[in-house]
A and B are shown apart, each in its own frame.
Chain A
Amino acid sequence: MKPMGIAAIIGGCFMIQMPVWAESPSQAAMLSNTCAGCHGTNGSSVGPSMPTIAGMPEVYLLDTMKKFKSGERPSSIMGRLAKAYSDEEIKMMVDFFVKHPFGREKQDVDAAKVAIGKQIHDQRCKKCHMDNGRDSEDSGILAGQWKEYLQISMHEFRSGKRKMPEKMAEKIEGEGKLTPAEVEAVIHFYASQQ
């Protein structure tokens, strides 16, 4: 991947949200480009129920695709699609999306919820979802992720359809179990991150 050089600089004044990358054709791009129909160009989504998958930790994306493929993670479309790809192909797609920047759109959030969410994040979540959810070794990037997608995910987790990682279950369902309102506040906090 290399920047477009002069074209990018000239075009730069039009690009507020993210740079346009020139990427030579490759098998990885061939496999990955078609995901953008739902997940947005280079993996940054503008649809609130579709997660941005760009800039995710490699371990997390690999694990997610593996769980879609096996059916361990519930899904509508992804389980059906993931079964079509070999492990090598999934690795190529993961490498492709990992290196693209996570594009963040402005979302409607409730300031009071954001403030409560920030407190809960600091107390319970920041060890794994570091830097206000911008960074992680093996968990999803939550900062700037779509609110609606996070709501769907938390519903899947809390209804038992999707298995929570152990550490997450401990922090959410363990001592001082979070109320639905508290979970909603944390979601607003992450969605507010630009």
Chain B
Amino acid sequence: MNRRNFIQMAGLAAGAGLSSFSILARAGEVLPKKGRRVVVVGGGYGGTIVSKYIRMSDPSIEVVMIERNKTFVSCPFSNLVIGGSRDLKDNMITYDKLEAKHGIKVIYDEVTGIDVAAKQVKVGAGTISYDRLVLSPGIDFRFDELEGYDPVETPKYMPHAWKAGEQTLRLRKQLVDMADGGTVVLSVPVTPFRCPPGPYERISQIAWHLKNHKPKSKILVLDANPDIVSKGPLFKKAWEKHYKGIIEFHAGNKVVKVDHKAMMVDTGVEEVKGAVINVVPPQKAGAVAYMAGVVGEDKKWCPVNQVTFESTIVPNVHVIGDACSAGAMPKSGYSANSQAKVCALNVVQLMNGKEPIPPSHVNVCYSYVTDKEAISVSAVYKVAEGKTIAVPNSGGVSPDLSELEGVYAHSWIKNILHEMSS
């Protein structure tokens, strides 16, 4: 929750004139803690898995997962929705089976504060006490680094769609409605950001749509980085093979200003207009990380012990997924899944007074370059001298683009979403 929401909510509460009863209820424990408890904030790629694997590893530990939405929408595979070959409904999961099968208590509420001294999470309905807290809040945006960006208004005209959902569908609709001959502008922020190959997969998907439906159109890319951040040679090969003359790629061009009324972005050197504009804003850890005071000196991401994912700033608070800094691991859904499992096992170890187990992670990221052809990058990660590193002489990218990669990717999303929801 950001400051604006908080003010809105406080206003709402004051306006409604809370009775003394509801004030008491607000102040009370939502679920009085009886035994040992882990509270997890966030029900995405990290939060669902850490909740489930703690319960699978030690069912005597109670797990309370706090999530504001009843339905989770996956960012991985949402670029296919933008390209037009997937239904966003297929990216959605709910938590009912996690509750029933694993006894995870899911609280659908907004986190409004975290008192790390009292070990309490504040939600709309009251407080929830924890022995250990795991934050898997995903990302928020550094809108303040884009002059003219209004966090509420701008995405209505220029959807970032970097959190899957309503904006994904809006961007899709804009592409469908655009007149043939129009230019799509997409900007990539400076790394690190959620899903390093994500912007380039999106560029491919938009180009695929243009090639098939708007042959006179093109997509102009302004990338703040010196080159494609991930799987560069493979993306370039795909663009050469499928989208010659459709993708115009400009590296080293950082968007610093936006004007959604004029449908224009500015790199400080040049103003660029577009019929559809997709500014991917620079990013930072999700808001609850700031509430817990676990964001590092860079004021963006959360430093953590690489073995336990416990914050190096606040004890008993762990951070996983996009919000944390995990050495060489990219900010991806698979990374969050893997970190959640490492964190779960070592939270259980710590709570049982045992030594943490040396971590072992995997990351696999598929990117679709058409509706069927995909490329991939994969690696195994371990911790050496306190740092998370890719195991040498292993991992790497797929040798080529292929439909078989796409076939595997489809099963990957089925399995990983099933893991998160059952």
Binding site for B on A (CB under 8 A): 4, 7, 11, 14-15, 20-27, 29-31, 33-41, 45-50, 76-77, 80-85, 89, 148, 152
Contacts and interface: CB of A to CB of B under 8 A. Distances in A.
Interface string B388-412: 0001011110100010110110111
A81 B103 contact: no
Among all A-B residue pairs, the 7 with the closest Cβ atoms: A47-B411, A84-B380, A84-B394, A83-B394, A84-B391, A47-B414, A25-B345
Given A41-B419, A77-B376, A22 B58 contact: yes
Nearest to B99: A14
A82 B354 CA distance: 29
B338 interface: yes
Contact of B378 (A41, A77, A89): A77
B358 A33 contact: no
B2 interface: no
Contacts of A82: 394
Contacts of A29: 57, 345
Interface string B298-314: 00000000000000000
B354 to A, nearest CB: 8
A118 to B, nearest CB: 27
Most chain A beta-carbon neighbours within 10 Å: one of B341, B359, B396, B405: B341
B97 interface: yes
Contacts of A89: 360
Nearest to B407: A49
Contacts of B393: 83-84
B274 to A, nearest CB: 36
B69 interface: no
Contacts of B345: 25, 29-30, 33
A23 B349 CA distance: 12
A164 B309 CA distance: 44
8 contacts: A11-B103, A22-B56, A25-B57, A33-B345, A34-B362, A81-B364, A83-B391, A85-B380
Contact of A37 (B59, B358, B416): B416
A78 B18 CA distance: 59
Most chain B beta-carbon neighbours within 10 Å: one of A35, A41, A49, A84: A84
A83 B354 CA distance: 30
A40 B361 contact: no
B370 interface: no
A49 B408 contact: yes
B22 to A, nearest CB: 34
A146 to B, nearest CB: 8
Given A37-B338, A81-B395, A76 B415 contact: no
Contacts of A22: 56-59
Given A11-B102, A30-B341, A36-B341, 4 more contacts: A20-B101, A41-B422, A76-B398, A80-B394
Contacts of A83: 391, 393-395
B357 A35 contact: no
A162 to B, nearest CB: 13
Contacts of B413: 47
Nearest to A45: B415
Contacts of A34: 337-338, 341-342, 360-362
Given A15-B101, A23-B56, A37-B416, A76 B376 contact: yes
A89 to B, nearest CB: 8
A38 B415 contact: yes
Contacts of A76: 376, 398, 402, 404-405, 408
B412 A47 contact: yes
Interface string B57-77: 111000000000000000000
B58 A46 contact: no
B360 A30 contact: yes
A19 to B, nearest CB: 10
A7 B383 CA distance: 35
Most chain A beta-carbon neighbours within 10 Å: one of B359, B398, B415: B415
A47 B379 CA distance: 21
Nearest to B340: A33
B53 interface: yes
B334 interface: yes
Contact of B407 (A4, A11, A36, A148): A148
Nearest to B393: A83
A55 B263 CA distance: 57
Contacts of A7: 59, 103
A84 B338 CA distance: 16
Contacts of B56: 20-23
